[in-house]
Amino acid sequence: MKDQQRVRGTVNKLFTKKKVVIKLSGSIFGSSTKSKSIKNYGEMITELNKHVQPVVIAGGGNIARHYIDLARELGSDEASLDQLGIEVSRLNAKLLLHSIRSYVYPKVPTNLEEVSIAAETGEPVILGGLHPGQSTNATSALVAEKVRAQIFVNATDVNGIYDCDPNINRHAKVFKRVTVDKCIEILGKNSSGAGKYDLMDMVALKIIERSRIPTVILQASVTNIVKVIESDTKIGTRILV
C-alpha cells in the first residue's frame, strides 16, 4: 500500500496540475442535508481532479454555531469556542472525505504545513479550520496563498457581494466585480467573535490583497463551482486584486 502511494505521488509530481482552492459553506453540511448532496460534492471534486487539483475547506455552519452558542452560555472563553468551531468543520471535512471513492488525500490536515505536504501529492485535499481566531474564509485564503492556487472560490449561501444587505433592502444590487478596499468597506464591520464570521473577514481580504489571489464569491452549488473553474463564466462576484 505504501509503495502504491509513493508511485502515485511520484506520478502526480511529474504531471503537476494547477491548484484551485474551494471554500464550501458550512450550510452544505447542515442537519437537514441529505447524503446525496454530500455525494454530489464528492463527485464534483473527483471530476475536477481530472484537470486541476482541488483543495477544499469545509465550513462549520449552523452546527458549529449551535455548539458555540451553547458553550458561550456555559461560560467558555472565545479561544475555546473557536476550537469547537474548528472541530465541527473538520468533522464536515471528514464527511466529505467519506463521499469520495477515487484517489483523495486520506487525512484531514490540521495545520498549514500538513496542507502543503498533502498538496504535493497531486491528490484532492480536504480540510476544515486550522487556527483559533481565524475563520475558515481566512484559512482558505491562507491555503490559497500557500499552495499558489490559480483561483480561490468561496462558495457561500448567497450569490455574491451586495452593495447593502439584501435581507434588509430588496433593491440591493450584487457586484460583478469589486475591489478589496470596497469589500473592506462593506464587509469589514463584521463581528470577530467565534461563529460570527460572514462572507469574508478582514484577515481573508488582506491575504487576498497581499498575494493578489484571484477570488470569486458565489452561491454554493456543484454547477456554479464547476462552471467558474472550468469555463470562467461570469458567476458571482470577483474581487479585483
Show me where the domains of the chain are located. 2-240
Provide the mean pLDDT of the chain.
88
* 33, 212 Cβ separation under 8 angstroms: no
Identify the CA nearest to 180 among candidates 200, 196, 158: 200
pLDDT per position as a tens digit, 146-159: 999 999 999 998 89
* pLDDT at res. 187: 74
Round to whole Å and give the CA distance between 101 and 43: 9
- What is the DSSP secondary-structure string of 103-168? S--SS---SHHHHHHHHTT-S-EEE---STT--HHHHHHHHHHHHT-SEEEEEESSSS-BSS-TTT
pLDDT per position as a tens digit, 90-137: 999 999 999 997 889 999 999 999 999 999 999 999 999 999 989 999
CATH number of 2-240: 3.40.1160.10
The answer, as to whether pTM is greater than 0.85, is yes
Instruction: pLDDT band for 232, please (50, 70, 90 cuts).
Output: confident
